[in-house]
Structure 1
């Protein structure tokens, strides 16, 4: 019996947290004060947010458990500090920063620009390894179009991939035996995934699958794929 299922998460239905004009965060799944019984994050995923920081602003976060934090700038760049500032990294569009944190660890995300807004994806994923620290993962979508690039992964936990596609480009994505679920997030453009039409900032969670198909319907469409156990 086929136990696979699919759930669409439309961009305009995301939760939102806002602090004056300095910070805004859109939440696909439950996070902080945003709680919805139909928005529980699946598997090891704890949060999938799109954050915006005004010029010169910063946000301080604390890990509630051992997690990997994935920070992917969409517009501009951010400075990230952990361990009371002992480890600090600037990350710009075209790079992903992964933080491997223990329960109670704090991390600070800051907009280093005086005026310009910055925007970034902010993912929180429970981890089972003892790995700590941070790692920068640069990538070049223009040099590797119409394919998926692996950005980061956690042993027996998750795998994060990204790809930029030309219009009408198709791909069949198979999951290896470790993963049974995928969360597909459209960063830019339009895709058809498993016969479902998705626009920018829409998401689709696919459960109990071994493979799925998607097609870009516009040039320079960008998709983020998070495979989960």
Structure 2
């Protein structure tokens, strides 16, 4: 029988630095909840809002897979590998921090807030060469199906990371449903995060910004109870 864990939107950790307002699904910075440190290899799921012209100055990371998904506005990225550019909604960015990387992220607009998801996944290989990539997403033009946006393999659709993980995103119109089959049901679980709207999984209804982890299952069905935008993160349940 499948196991599950529910994290309602209003139960998340909160941080308000004025220019930055962030909600933490898992323990992060000054928010620590011993029952919510990670979901398998999924370590951080931050829902960030950055004021116009503000952002994160240059700072280091190492031995972590870092994924950014813009939801609104424009995010300007710069790192010590020479990468510099703008990422917007409809795109995904990934960094393998590996042996170490320095980067900065700023709202590229001066008078409008930027919103994005900051996601960290534990890698299955340590001290790899740092790398950067980004890709365009197409799910908004293809409703009622899931688009793969991340995998362990460079040959697969979307970006890739050093972990046995797959991410999918999709729009479900009210009353429509889709089934998700785990790539590795013996070892992985899935964390479902509702970006907008509401969905039902079995008897559980999830609303905007709710999170729901499922494991020890092979597949499940998502049914939209209102027009919904959903992110699915399949990750190993044991950290290597």
**Residues 91, 106 of structure 1: alpha-carbon distance in 2 compared, 3 angstrom cutoff:** same
Corresponding position: 1:181 with 2:179: no
Q: CA deviation at 1:107?
A: 2.1
Per the alignment, residue 102 of structure 2 pairs with: 106
Contact residue 100 and residue 130 of structure 2 kept, 8 A:
no
Distance 2:146 2:78 in 1: 29
Per the alignment, residue 38 of structure 2 pairs with: 41
Distance 1:181 1:109 in 2: 30
Q: TM-score, normalised by structure 2?
A: 0.87
Listed as ranges, the matches of 1:115-194 within 5 Å are 115-129=111-125, 130=128, 132-153=130-151, 154-177=161-184, 179-194=187-202
Distance 1:121 1:10 in 2: 17
Corresponding position: 1:204 with 2:212: yes
Distance 2:224 2:103 in 1: 36
Q: Which segments of 5 or more consecutive residues in structure 1 lack a partner in the other structure?
A: none
Distance 2:129 2:224 in 1: 36
Listed as ranges, the matches of 1:64-103 within 5 Å are 65-83=62-80, 86-103=82-99
- Secondary structure of the structure 1 residue equivalent to 2:230: strand
Distance 2:129 2:144 in 1: 32
Q: Which segments of 5 or more consecutive residues in structure 2 lack a partner in the other structure?
A: 152-160
Per-residue CA deviations over 1:30-68 (Å, capped at 9, x if unaligned) read: 0111101121212211100001111111114432x4111
CA RMSD of aligned residues (A): 1.6
Number of residue pairs aligned between Structure 1 and Structure 2: 223
Distance 1:131 1:104 in 2: 8
Distance 1:132 1:144 in 2: 33
Contact residue 68 and residue 94 of structure 2 kept, 8 A:
yes
Among 46, 50, 66, the residue aligned to 2:47? 50
Distance 2:184 2:206 in 1: 27
Q: CA deviation at 1:117?
A: 0.5
Q: TM-score, normalised by structure 1?
A: 0.91
Distance 1:203 1:103 in 2: 31
